[in-house]
Structure 1
Amino acid sequence: MDILKVVHLNTYDGNGGAGRACVRLNRALTDQGIESKVIVHYKFGKNPDIGDFNTNLLQKGYIAATIILERILAKRYLKALKTPFSFAWFGRSVIHHPDVEAADIIHLHWVNHGFLDPKHIAEIAKLKKPVVWTFHDSNAFTGGCHVRYTCDHFKNECGNCPLLKNADPDDQSHKIWKQKRAAYDVLNFNIVAPSAWMQKSVKESSLMKGKTVEQIPNTLETDIFKPMDKSLAKEKAGFPKDKYILLSGFMPSRKDMHKGTSYLLESLELLKERLGAKARNIELVVFGNRNTEDVPEFPFRASFLGTIGDDERLSVCYAAADAFLIPSLEDNLPYTVMESLSCGTPVIAFTTGGIPDMVKHEYNGYLAEYRSSESFANGMEWMIHHTDRERLNRNARQTVMEKFSEEVIATRHIELYKHILKI
């Protein structure tokens, strides 16, 4: 084998955390001399280096229709909760694509929204090639949900799903669970868990018994997401230089459980009470909001940047902030945390999911007690009054360079590939 060939399969090309992780890993592997390619189910962008399975506009239109149809049909079965859940109604064959046929390793990423249903996952076994699958959320080992919260049904056989309108032991979640079990009996694959939390969850899953799971984090472009002088960055971002800037990512409505908006609002109210007159020195900046019609009322002056599609611009915003807030209640290895740290900006978050893999308490940020608004407020207050902010900023960047840089993560993947191929 002269050059190792890896093909990455993902539903989308770079939008969403999984898509970004897939594209970033591909770049990191290419920089290390690996022949690495990304092929997607539906391509939004125009990057010529990313391939897709659709050969014409008619086919692409059909795929778009199935993605939309799945969401519409799902409403008949799901309760009115904003917890993501995928059904296995649509799928497509990938085994005849020339890049898939030529690959030494097939690396799966996020494969929902009508891409790889259990039947077509099992079909990959016909190629007799090693398969690696990075679990960017919990869906691969549940009966449909992507975020589990306190539900532990995945440890046995899913059923009586708390997300379904008509839950019973043989409901849709149990049927999907059985389909996945049948597929995984056919296809052997090696699992990559980006966080210790995900690795632990995989080991607890009944569907993953006997599977090999390796913990390897995601990576990012450390040459783009990098520190800047705070004053210069604030000027470039258009933030007031005389304010302490609290930055936060996508801000959904108060009802969205997954992102923990209600806890952030409560903690900001507490912070304002504690700071008194000094509260006027604080400003909240939010990016990623799709509109300003459904955003909550904040106790501090708040500005909304909308979706930022340019990573250079996003990097400047991170670097300009004094602290990054993420009140998420469950996340695998959220990119916003890694990006902020890489730009030298400490993070305040709940102790949940894979966040503790990145944020070290009172070293490069603050880990608040889970679902405690008071603890989250403590974190903001601690950071605002910290006597050596520069040290926090340096620690943030150093964490990323030591644990998540492109070279480090690419090397770990290459070692895994070579181990699987016995070369």
Structure 2
Amino acid sequence: MKIVHICTSLKGGAGTAAFRIHEAMLAEGIDSNFLCCDEINNGKKVSKIEEVVNQYARNLISRIFQKIKRIFLEYFNQRTIFLKQYNNAQGFLECEYSSTPYSNFDVLNNLLVKSADIIHLHWIAGLLDYPSFFQNVKKPIVWTFHDMNPFQGIFHYKQDEQRNRFNFGKIDLLSYKIKAKSIKSCNTTIKIVCPSKWLYKTAKNAKVLNRLEVATIPYTIDFHVFQKISRKLVRNKFNIPETETVFLFACQSVGVFRKGFDLLIDALKTVIENNITVIVIGEESIFDISNLKVRFTGTITDNHLLSEYYSVADAFIIPSREDNLPNVVLESVSCGTPIIGLPVGGIQEHILEGVTGILAKDISSIALAKAITKFLRIKETFDPKKIRNYALNNFGNLKVINSYLNIYHSLIQSQIIKDRI
């Protein structure tokens, strides 16, 4: 059985999560390939897809004389109008990220896709051309959602959609309709996988997906890489006293509003405790951190170094306003480090009060400050072994990959039966 994972990039949370699934499959002897837009040669069956003019658009002139002339011409005109409106909106959108259902990549013409038994989609913004892909794909599809974009319009999270509804609601709705029409035109089987129960429930209620099956499978992580390292050793390495309470925050870009670093700063300013150091991993941004001890490390890609930072911390704080299942949650508990977080998405699903961390009562700096204060009061009661055991029981490679294999096999059997009819 040949699997091809398709993801726009290896970078970012979605790319990291998708690649870890691919790596885990390779470790289990599965014939898995990874297709993305990045130029990389890591020896782990990753290939770069080349951008070409989509063959269905390229051959438009010859196709207008075929039976599908009217339908295809409508598609082309819609594409032109939409992209013009979208390009005009750039620079005015108030959002973390936006994307369109169109692309110049011809995914189906790639040799790895042609030879695969299962196409496993991940975060495909800017890579997948919805109309041509879903209308022409013949192979079974597994689609792991990493955010809400597959069943929304141009935005990737609900708050961005709501923030832009007044000015850009029409183009957002048009994008949604294009996606809905494209997915509805698909003649093969699509199985949706959500890494969190929150995203599962949200996807189940999405009209664009109303005929598709949805399952929940969490992300996976390499426990040999992410593990507890001697606290004394890493404290000495980073020159941090044993008496200091260390909180860790990590994000690709610290200034992203959705990730809530501003909530963390506001919360810490109200916490009555002098011996607190905050270590921040990610691209630095401008915040008022006066009277706080904050260390910015910049971006870290070395997983062993990340494990050292998780191990040096008393707790990992994740103040996201919206999130699916961030990789940092898995990384932290794998290293035996408790989490302090807000009641958001998949984060809240893995914070067992007093066992794996502390969950704030609501999404605010005040509630976060109370959660931090509670942690400071009971921090000695957290057991790193119990926290890591939670990770071992929930995010192990074998458990996650077997869940995917069950889906793959069921899709292939369904396809065989379908082909016989």
Contact 1:318 1:345 in 2 (8 A): yes
Match among 142, 146, 154 for residue 152 of structure 2? 142
CA distance in 1, matches of 2:194, 2:180: 19
Pair 1:23-2:19 in alignment: yes
Amino acid at match of 1:177: Y
Cα RMSD after superposing both structures: 2.4
What is residue 62 of structure 2 aligned with on the other side?
none
Amino acid at match of 2:403: R
Pair 1:130-2:124 in alignment: no
Pair 1:371-2:370 in alignment: no
Amino acid at match of 1:135: F
Query: For the pair shown, which has the larger CA radius of gyration, 1 or 2?
Result: 2
What is residue 408 of structure 2 aligned with on the other side?
417
CA displacement at 1:75 relative to structure 2: 6.9
Q: Where is the helix percentage greater, Structure 1 or Structure 2?
A: 2
Pair 1:117-2:129 in alignment: yes
What are the equivalent positions in structure 2 for 1:170-185 lying under 5 Å apart?
A: 171-185=170-184
CA displacement at 1:18 relative to structure 2: 1.0
Contact 1:77 1:166 in 2 (8 A): no
CA displacement at 1:73 relative to structure 2: 6.4
CA displacement at 1:194 relative to structure 2: 0.5
Contact 2:310 2:332 in 1 (8 A): yes
CA distance in 1, matches of 2:287, 2:354: 30
Contact 1:79 1:163 in 2 (8 A): no
CA distance in 2, matches of 1:258, 1:285: 19
SS in structure 2 of the partner of residue 245 of structure 1: strand
Contact 1:332 1:353 in 2 (8 A): yes
Contact 2:195 2:324 in 1 (8 A): yes
Structure 2 CA distance for partners of 1:201 and 1:298, relative to 1, 3 Å: farther
SS in structure 2 of the partner of residue 12 of structure 1: coil
Pair 1:84-2:78 in alignment: no
CA displacement at 1:282 relative to structure 2: 1.1
CA distance in 1, matches of 2:144, 2:268: 36
Structure 2 CA distance for partners of 1:78 and 1:212, relative to 1, 3 Å: farther
SS in structure 1 of the partner of residue 297 of structure 2: strand
Amino acid at match of 2:354: E
Identical residues among aligned pairs (%): 29
CA displacement at 1:120 relative to structure 2: 3.4
What are the superposed Cα offsets for residues 79-129 of structure 1, whole Å, 9 maximum, x if unpaired?
Answer: 4523322123433211122211111111000001x210312331452xx21
CA displacement at 1:165 relative to structure 2: 6.5
Structure 2 CA distance for partners of 1:298 and 1:195, relative to 1, 3 Å: farther
Match among 290, 295, 304 for residue 296 of structure 2? 304
Which sections of structure 2, spanning at least 5 residues, go unmatched? 53-82, 415-421
CA displacement at 1:30 relative to structure 2: 1.4
Match among 26, 48, 55 for residue 52 of structure 1? 48
CA distance in 1, matches of 2:47, 2:311: 33
Which sections of structure 1, spanning at least 5 residues, go unmatched? 57-69, 152-160
Pair 1:283-2:277 in alignment: yes
What is residue 325 of structure 2 aligned with on the other side?
333
Contact 1:251 1:261 in 2 (8 A): no
Contact 1:267 1:373 in 2 (8 A): yes
Contact 2:40 2:48 in 1 (8 A): no
Contact 1:285 1:302 in 2 (8 A): yes
Structure 2 CA distance for partners of 1:221 and 1:138, relative to 1, 3 Å: same
What is residue 338 of structure 2 aligned with on the other side?
346
CA displacement at 1:233 relative to structure 2: 2.3
Amino acid at match of 1:326: I
Match among 359, 362, 366 for residue 354 of structure 2? 362
SS in structure 2 of the partner of residue 398 of structure 1: helix
What are the superposed Cα offsets for residues 135-169 of structure 1, whole Å, 9 maximum, x if unpaired?
Answer: 00000000111011396xxxxxxxxx64256345x
CA distance in 2, matches of 1:150, 1:322: 33
CA distance in 1, matches of 2:136, 2:236: 52
Number of residue pairs the alignment of both structures matches: 380
What is residue 67 of structure 1 aligned with on the other side?
none
What is residue 399 of structure 1 aligned with on the other side?
390
Structure 2 CA distance for partners of 1:237 and 1:124, relative to 1, 3 Å: farther
What are the superposed Cα offsets for residues 231-256 of structure 1, whole Å, 9 maximum, x if unpaired?
Answer: 222223444433111111138566x4
What is residue 233 of structure 1 aligned with on the other side?
234
Match among 5, 8, 22 for residue 8 of structure 1? 5
Contact 1:78 1:165 in 2 (8 A): no
Match among 28, 52, 56 for residue 32 of structure 1? 28
What is residue 268 of structure 1 aligned with on the other side?
268
CA distance in 2, matches of 1:211, 1:284: 44
CA displacement at 1:222 relative to structure 2: 1.1
SS in structure 1 of the partner of residue 109 of structure 2: coil
Structure 2 CA distance for partners of 1:315 and 1:45, relative to 1, 3 Å: farther
SS in structure 2 of the partner of residue 20 of structure 1: helix
Amino acid at match of 1:103: A
SS in structure 2 of the partner of residue 386 of structure 1: helix
CA distance in 2, matches of 1:239, 1:82: 37
CA distance in 1, matches of 2:106, 2:408: 24
What are the equivalent positions in structure 2 for 1:94-105 lying under 5 Å apart?
A: 94-105=107-118
Which TM-score applies when normalising by structure 1? 0.84
SS in structure 1 of the partner of residue 158 of structure 2: coil
SS in structure 2 of the partner of residue 352 of structure 1: coil
